[in-house]
Chains A and B, each alone.
Chain A
Amino acid sequence: MRVYTTAGIALKALRRNPMRAMLTTLGIVIGVGAVIAMMEIGAGASTALKKSIASMGANVLVIRPGTASSGGVSFGAGTTTTLTPEDCQAILRECPAIRNAAPMVRARAQVVYGNRNWVPNAIYGTTPAYLDVQDWSTLAEGEPFSDRDVLNSNRVCILGQSLVRELFEGISPVGKEIRIKNISFRVIGVLSSKGANMMGHDQDDVILAPWTTIKYRVTGTSLATTNQSTAATSDTVNTLSNLYPAAQPSLYPEHSSVQQSNNPMPVRFANIDQIMAAANSSVEIPLAIKQISEVLRERHRTRAEEPEDFNIRDMAELTATLSTTTTLMTNLLLAVAMISLIVGGVGIMNIMLVSVTERTREIGLRMAVGARGRDILRQFLVEAVVLCLTGGAMGIILGHGGSQLVRLLLGWPVETSPAAIATAVLVSAGVGIIFGFYPAWKASRLDPIEALRYE
């Protein structure tokens, strides 16, 4: 007997009682719908997560100074001031697993342009390498600052998109002057937009400037010296008197401008807030951590038995935790969907048993005209599978519609997955075969005479 004739008979049998067929398949519809919706939303979430991780800088390691403690009292992370830009250079030089590294100092201050002001999330003083570490090298506009700008602590900066919006109302800021703590900075570039990271932190609300500038001109100016803004802004020549605010004792004699040009980067006490380093690849992160640890222990003259005066964190830990949570949620919901499918399958089995009983005489007749047990078995199996596939198809539409609705109404990222649809089709056919088998087997074992005599 051909499959399509069997399928035709099955469809006809189902059309005899469309309401019943629909109610029967409801379990399958809901189960498959849930599977599809879960898989689409889950795929969307994991893609979004991956993007978000990438935007935070893939394979990035953060090296921070350790905790200073005195008499058993710890002062919190970053309280030792042992990390230097030279450490950063050493890491770059001596750790083969590191692609690039950038020193960073952080500041938080009001930024003023014209009559507008804004306090950005972060003002980072760094080197051009930071853009490479963060995979942020393509600027929306302008140029990044150079190593020479860092060397000369030039007052130049790159703005994030949020600042362009807040301070400049979308007008190109390149070439304009902004003021941070009364120190004027020339805007030379605008960062491309990154959006919020996965903690909801706006990554575009940032200013990048040479770390030397931030360190010695912005954070170095204590509250007592803010009044010196006139001196700071009016003097465009980079002199040490500006690097070391007047409130602090002058450690070195003043340089003449000749000395200045001969030796533009004098030795000074410099400690930085953190180093960001990018490993070559995610698999090399553990190796990179080991290499950095060795280099820094050596440089900081830490003895073998002493604890490190710095700590290294990688994003991998965070992203692993986050993706584990998403996977766990998806799996839990899939389990619920599976239970729904089993319940649906039991419904199918129930209705197929009813159908076999109702059609006992038909079975007897078919056997009398030559149907073998296996023909009857196949007929009822195909019927159960057709029932389940119909339910599965409705479930796919429902689940897809549901996930699209979630996308439109809640704005969640959603990804249509052909694999999910294929799985749903296979699973619903499987449910039909598994739960349709017993009733079909029962039908195939009927005795033709008794079946024909059945009232």
Chain B
Amino acid sequence: MELITLHGIEKTYQMGDISVPVLKGISLAIRQGELVALTGSSGSGKSTLMNILGCLDRPTAGEYWLEGQEISQLTADERALLRNRKLGFVFQSFNLLARTSALENVAMPLSYTVEELSSSEARKRATEMLCRVGLGDRLDHYPSQLSGGQQQRVAIARALINRPPVLFADEPTGNLDSRTSEEVLQMFEQLNAEDGITIIMVTHDPKVAGHARQIIRIEDGLILDNTTAGGPTPQTGEITL
């Protein structure tokens, strides 16, 4: 089943009088349970595409179908709701709230859900999530007391707190050394394999991209190639976090 389908997505930035076309007609399909790497050289438009995929931005033209719903024309509030329910984000620079415990960082997205959890329930869920990423013993640590790899794992726990079907990661290992990068990537593979979460990560590093099954290469706003490696077909079952 196709989770994501793009049809002729274009994005043009308007810089005063000059229009800068960044995406020039991207069409692609991503199945549920897939582990995808978006690669390409710097400035090719990877982040721009990921922002559109992650509903942070709207395409200038084209169609975006997510779980059978056309979402390129949603309002800002509708997109916010969608992000909260269906999408998780992991950033290159972690973006954890300083002077806020790991637990509270993880629980933060719960305060924007439609159906509100009680604070004890939210704590319980955040604790579970942190245990899953192997930080059960670091609940009350502040980001400044955690290593880069641990911070990124807190960020992953935060992205998964609302049990989204899709996880986006923009250069998730960009600020990490190779050993902790490996840890984070293994965690992605594990989440993908065990829980069937669709993971889409942006990277310029071919070694990182090597962990993915589907590799989409972008060059100058267009898809250069889109290959899906053999191996086991991705799970399509319900998410069981």
Among A125-133, A364-372, A391-399, A413-421, the one that faces the other chain is: A364-372
A2 located at the interface, meaning its Cβ lies under 8 Å from any Cβ of chain B in the complex: yes
Tell me if A1 is interfacial: C-beta within 8 Å of chain B: yes
Q: Say whether, besides A448-B56, A449-B57, A366 and B108 are in contact (CB < 8 Å).
A: yes
- A361 in contact (CB, < 8 A): yes
With the chains together, A369 CA to B80 CA distance in Å? Answer: 7
Question: CB < 8 Å: which of A361, A375, A449 contacts B112?
Answer: A375
Main SS of the interface on chain A? helix
Please tell me if B97 contacts chain A, counting CB pairs below 8 Å: yes
Say yes or no: A371 contacts B80, CB within 8 Å: yes
Interface code B49-71, partner A: CB below 8 Å = 1, 0 otherwise?
Answer: 00100101100000000000000
- Taken together as a complex, chains A and B put the C-alpha atoms of A16 and B159 apart, in Å, by 25
Q: Residue on B with the closest CB to A445?
A: B76
As a 0/1 sequence over residues 129 to 167 of chain B, the CB contacts with chain A under 8 angstroms (1 = contact) are 000000000000000000000000000001100100000
Q: Which chain A residues border B228 with CB–CB below 8 Å?
A: none
Q: Across the interface, do A369 and B99 meet the contact criterion of CB distance under 8 Å?
A: no
Q: Is the CB of A372 within 8 A of B112?
A: yes
| Min CB–CB distance B95 → chain A (angstroms) | 5
User: In the complex, which residues of chain A have a beta carbon less than 8 angstroms from the beta carbon of B51?
Assistant: 449
Chain B interface size, under 10 / 10 to 19 / 20 to 34 / 35 or more: 20 to 34
Q: How many residues of A contact B (CB 8 A)?
A: 22
A218 to chain B, nearest CB (A): 86
Asked whether A12 is an interface residue with its Cβ less than 8 Å from the other chain, the reply is yes
For the complex, give the distance between the alpha carbons of A368 and B108 in Å. Answer: 11
Looking at the complex, which of B38-46, B84-92, B172-180 is the stretch in contact with chain A?
A: B84-92
Q: Are B77 and A372 in contact (CB under 8 A)?
A: yes
Answer yes or no: B123 CB below 8 A from chain A CBs: no
One of B80, B99, B116 near A370 (C-beta < 8 A): B80
Distance of A359 Cα from B57 Cα, bound (Å): 21
Residues of B within 8 A of A (CB): 51, 54, 56-57, 76-77, 80-81, 83-85, 89, 91, 95, 97, 99-100, 108-109, 111-113, 116, 119, 158-159, 162
Residues of B within 8 Å of A370, CB to CB, are 80-81, 83-85, 109, 112-113, 162
15 A-B pairs in the complex with CB atoms less than 8 angstroms apart: A2-B111, A365-B95, A365-B97, A367-B80, A368-B83, A368-B89, A370-B81, A370-B83, A370-B84, A370-B85, A370-B113, A370-B162, A372-B112, A449-B56, A452-B91
Which residues from chain A sit less than 8 Å from chain B, CB to CB?
A: 1-2, 5, 12, 16, 361-362, 364-375, 448-449, 452
| Min CB gap A452→B, angstroms | 7
Sorted nearest first, the 8 A-B pairs with minimum C-beta distance are: A370-B84, A369-B109, A370-B112, A372-B80, A365-B95, A372-B77, A371-B112, A370-B83
